[in-house]
Structure 1
Amino acid sequence: MAGLTAEEDAAAPPPAGVGPGPARTALVAALGELLGTAPPPRREPVGAELFETLLRAGDRAVETGGERELLLAVALADTGVSLRAKSRAAWRLRARALDALGHAAAATEAYERTLALGSTHPETPVLLSMAREKRTCLATAVGLFPADTAGGRETGAGQETGGPEAGAASAAAGPAFASAVGAEAMPGVVREAFTAYVTEQMGRYGAGDARVRELAGAYGTYCRILDQGRMADPLLAGARPVSVADFRGLVAGKTACVVVGPGRFEEAGDYELVVRCDDFRGGERADVHAVADPASASWHRPAGVRLLFADPGETWRETVRRAVPGAQDGLGDASLRRPLQDPALLGDGGWGPETSAAFTVLRLLDHLDVSPRLDVHGAGRLRPEERRWITSRAKDRTKTRTALR
């Protein structure tokens, strides 16, 4: 236990005028308990009580949230892993601390190790998904404009990133952002640099540029994860959360069709991804089920992923609670609740709450632009303005099918 002199660092006085706060007080108490429980050096092996006290101190350090406290949590977790290499709790503590520090790759590895050891903690797979998604968002953002982030990618590791205002003022927000990402800076630092970079790129290329829109989408997803995390398991009815990035991955490279209306769809075998909307018959294939009508009678019907469209957020949360446990493998998270109006996605405010689920999911698929074939069957059932939008972009039409690709 010789490495615990970091207690002095964690218990250092806060800045003038700032109280210690309950999290820091709990950390100091936990460290005091740990030191009181620790045996003299080389006198006896580490028992269960001491091991649990060590992990509890690490948990309090993570809850405190400062960089020094998080580094202390990593040290405590590493001590736990060195004592018990197959401890799920020690690996989970390590993952959480690294994640909070912004060390996404190492955190992902630790979460995966936790699951491989048989962790049944309900949050672990969600936290792993979040860590992976944050990495994807940052990698996407850095790679969209390689010429504008050059320099920062090569010199990021171990260097100061500077303030975001300085980067924007010198038209160097791109390298500053890439440097923060490459150095695995704290999430707050990365977020500030990300904000400056998005602002600069929107001013330089305009909000209509396809790459800027994708950049804004990655930024929106990253900020949502930092601010809100992912939905709690009870709200998800036991299903995995599906973000914009997850949904893009599900759709990518697949031929897709959106079926309007509840009738039987005989051509399902012609597509790799079949999207049903609101009500549909039992026994029908539904790789994706898009719902805008809370009174839908098909909540219980099996679906791969269920997307729930509703606004404002409280209405969406109430709608999600209608999901039937076991009826779907995945549920769209908050990043997919209003794709038409969301500036991180389509940003088209001209469509009101009466917009159909079929049109909304079709627009989402068209915007993601990762399907080699995208058809809509039964467009005649849509509202006139929705039909006009589809007709204006149709590449081919038959009596029942309209192709957008």
Structure 2
Amino acid sequence: MTTVQKRRARARGGELDDCLRACAAHSGKLVGSIDRRRVELAEQLRKLLVVWGTTSVTAPVPAPAGGAAALLKRAVKGPATPSVSIGNDLLDALLAVANKALECGYDDELNLALVISDTVLAQRKNSRAGWRLRARLLEALGEETEALEAYERYLALTDDDGFGVRARIDGLKIAADKERELFALLGRQVPRAQDFTRRPATDVWAEGLAAHAVGDWTQAEPRLVGALLTLAAEDAPVQDRQELLSQYLDLRTAVPGVDLPALTEAVALYAEQRRSRMRGPVTDPTVGGVRWITLGEFRNQIAGKSICLIANSGRVGASSMGAEIDAYDLVVRFNSYRIDPKHTGGRTDIHATIHKHGFNWDQRVTTRLVFGGVSGDWKYSLRNRLVPGAQAHLGDESLRWPVRNIGKLGNDVWSGIPTTGFNMLWLLDFLDVSPTLDLIGFDFYESGAYRVPEAMKLAITSVHEYTSEKDWVMQRAQSVTDTRISLR
């Protein structure tokens, strides 16, 4: 029985009412939690309960008096109204909960995410977001074969791979191949290991550790490798295989007089499969010969030029301002921007994007600035998402997180995580070398989002200080119309 099957045996999934009651019950478990991830999950669960409280198969039902407590009571007892079907609002709320539960990574939360995943796909068998959730969940549970199938199903349902799923698939497949090569190599290097593949891996592994503890490597190694070969044959969860592989190589490295060429061959395969699993294949280490630019070089690049920043808003999508936008010297667009030349203009000179999403990274631009708060995560995303030849210039570490790293605006001054747009706008205002600095369509989500189709379902996250950002902009505005805010 796989990890997923065992979890499903403990959790009920597929029936929407059962799933919603499970969510409500889990909401009660999180009361008083000080874990940041669980606090964020609790907020998403609260929003889900509100949506559920106003959802019915017939007509909307007012939320009962008493707020969340009453909703929780209703959830535990079961709905008084007819069983609900999954509408778009309910689907989005469920997916938001599942994604937060997956981020938590704890067993209870993974079980909850699994229930939601089963329910969403039972209700919407062609849900792209549902299949991507399923794939990520299976990967987190170490069931890579099933995860690959789910990722493939997701790709079959979309034309826009903004989340880098194809590269993820390639990386997992390469990692699986290299891992098989490694196990085959260990089997050849330690032929006696086959004698220990007929008993439970945990027992054999414990015997190997005991032999190693008394300094008998000749008895320890075949047992350790035998346990590893058994795990591979049983297709044990990836995490189990990886943990024991790492332990074995650590022990082997410390053995006096170890056969260095043989060890090097094994370690090289281990490193390659780990690297592929983490970041996917790297076809061009130089990223197409891109030129990295510093803060000073970016300043020189924009000096004396008129600049417009185009919001991903519904107002832009209906503006008919395409020709005016293209008349600026430099056009800046953000994240998952959408192009409709009549309304948005057709040119993009600078693409500013958060490192977490891969939308439009394949679109040709002069300069790409990728923002991210954690240096290691930022570097990881650059290696995974950059498309060789899609940019001539790429911002270096000095341009990674302008508001925090250049402006030194800490949480005590700016408590929310700065948006991509605010990082870019703050940077341009700070450099102060552009005679024209206009914001087109910045209505701070009043007209809704206007993005590439694959990104339209992305929630407007609550971690940003949109009100503070709007106040910052309006304090510096020289003129304001329905579509344009001029800061210069």
The structure, 1 or 2, with the larger RCO (C-alpha pairs under 8 Å, 6+ apart) is 2
TM-score (norm 2): 0.41
TM-score (norm 1): 0.49
Rg larger in structure: 2
